[in-house]
């Protein structure tokens, strides 16, 4: 049985002092021992959030990192820095990074490997545009993103990774994929992992759904057989996140 994982992606929200207040506000609401709860926060919030969630079950995640070890990469953050600051998860290849910052499958693959090397669990995002869905190429597009992201990653590392399926047309739009649409793609992701690594790894790897998840649709989505939790944007900044974790 796969353990559920619900992660908040704060995106570019919350100053360090606002972040601490939010952690306090959510404290009693997200302490569910049956679920892995992660706050993926802006880099500058990582240390204060790590401090604020001390003694709770919440884990801290980053929203991005760079694949090089260290050096002249102005503005970037390394896996070693994240690890030292108390990070256990990192979102990689979010569609906003792919679209706005030109992140390629190749760069995401390098980041995956570096995160794994440092014992940080990647949450690798994939998802189709509305156009790709209308053109009927959703599943082939998702599979190619997954294959590229996992290129050269060993089975024993792959099984601990998390994949988030986030249809781009459902992000921040209030338009959620139906539980059937989400399940269809999450199942295809698992089949793709089975093709690459075999059924045992596919059965262990956790797949999340993301895109306008809220307190009223979470339970239905998370109850689908291949959906092991969610990656939550807007609603992770509100008390509503507690209801999503407990869904
Ligand atoms: P929303 O939940 O705000 O749609 O964002 C989803 C997302 O991009 C999480 O990574």
DSSP per-residue string spanning 108-130: HHHHHHHHHHTTPEEEEEE---H
Burial of 28 (0-12, 13-18, 19+ CB in 10 A): exposed
Q: Say which residue the tokens 């796969």 belong to.
A: 2
Burial of 160 (0-12, 13-18, 19+ CB in 10 A): middle
Which residues have C-beta within 8 Å of that of residue 234, sequence separation ≥ 6?
172, 212
Which of 96, 103, 166, 183 is the catalytic position? Answer: 166
Query: In degrees rounded to 5, what are phi and psi of residue 87?
Result: -85, 135
* 236 ligand 1 Cβ < 6 A: no
Tokens of 159: 């099984």
Tens-digit pLDDT profile for the chain (247 aa)? 899 999 999 999 999 999 999 999 999 999 899 999 999 999 999 999 999 999 999 999 999 999 999 999 999 999 999 999 999 999 999 999 999 999 999 999 999 999 999 999 999 999 999 999 999 999 999 999 999 999 999 999 999 999 999 999 999 888 889 999 999 999 999 999 999 999 999 999 999 999 999 999 999 999 999 999 999 999 999 999 999 999 9
Q: Is 106 a catalytic residue?
A: no
Q: Is 141 a catalytic residue?
A: no
- Residue 218 pLDDT: 97
Distance 231 CA to ligand 1 centre (A): 7
**Residue with CA at minimum distance from ligand 1 atom 2:** 233
Phi-psi region of 198 (alpha: psi -120 to 50; beta: other; left: phi over 0): left
Distance 207 CA to ligand 1 centre (A): 15
What's the whole-model pTM score?
0.98
- Residue 1 pLDDT: 82
Which of 94, 128, 183, 240 is the catalytic position? Answer: 94
Distance 91 CA to ligand 1 centre (A): 12
Q: Alpha-carbon distance 26 to 185, whole Å? A: 31
167 by DSSP, 3-state: which? coil
**CB neighbourhood size of 20 (10 A):** 17
Q: Alpha-carbon distance 192 to 194, whole Å? A: 5
**Residue with CA at minimum distance from ligand 1 atom 9:** 233
Distance 78 CA to ligand 1 centre (A): 24
- Residue 77 pLDDT: 98
Kindly report each contact of residues 28-34 with a partner whose C-beta sits within 8 Å and lies 24 or more positions away, as own/partner: 28/242, 29/239, 29/241, 29/242, 29/243, 29/245, 30/56, 30/57, 30/58, 30/241, 30/242, 30/245, 31/56, 31/57, 31/58, 32/57, 32/245, 32/246, 33/57, 34/3, 34/4
* 212 ligand 1 Cβ < 6 A: yes
- Residue 227 pLDDT: 98
The number of the ligand 1 atom at minimal distance from the alpha carbon of 214 is 2
């Amino acid at each position: 049985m796969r353990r559920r994982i619900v992660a908040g992606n704060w995106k570019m929200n919350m100053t360090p002092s606002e972040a601490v207040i939010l952690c306090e506000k959510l404290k009693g609401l997200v302490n569910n021992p049956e679920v892995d709860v992660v706050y993926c926060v802006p880099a500058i919030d990582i240390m204060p959030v790590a401090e604020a969630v001390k003694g709770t079950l919440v884990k801290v995640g980053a929203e991005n990192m760079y694949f090089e070890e260290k050096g002249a990469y102005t503005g970037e953050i390394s896996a070693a820095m994240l690890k030292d600051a108390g990070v256990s998860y990192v979102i990689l290849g979010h569609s906003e990074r792919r679209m706005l910052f030109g992140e390629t499958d190749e760069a995401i693959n390098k980041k995956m490997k570096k995160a794994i090397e440092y014992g940080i669990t990647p949450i690798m995002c994939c998802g189709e545009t509305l156009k790709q869905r209308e053109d009927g190429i959703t599943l082939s597009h998702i599979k190619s993103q997954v294959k590229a992201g996992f290129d050269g990653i060993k089975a024993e590392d792959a099984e601990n990774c998390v994949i988030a399926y986030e249809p781009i047309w459902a992000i921040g739009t209030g338009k959620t994929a139906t539980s059937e649409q989400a399940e269809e793609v999450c199942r295809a992701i698992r089949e793709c992992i089975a093709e690459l690594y075999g059924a045992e790894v596919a059965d262990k790897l956790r797949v999340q759904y993301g895109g306008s998840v809220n307190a009223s649709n979470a339970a239905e989505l998370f109850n689908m057989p291949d959906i092991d939790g969610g990656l939550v944007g807007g609603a992770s900044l509100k008390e509503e996140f507690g209801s999503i974790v407990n869904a």
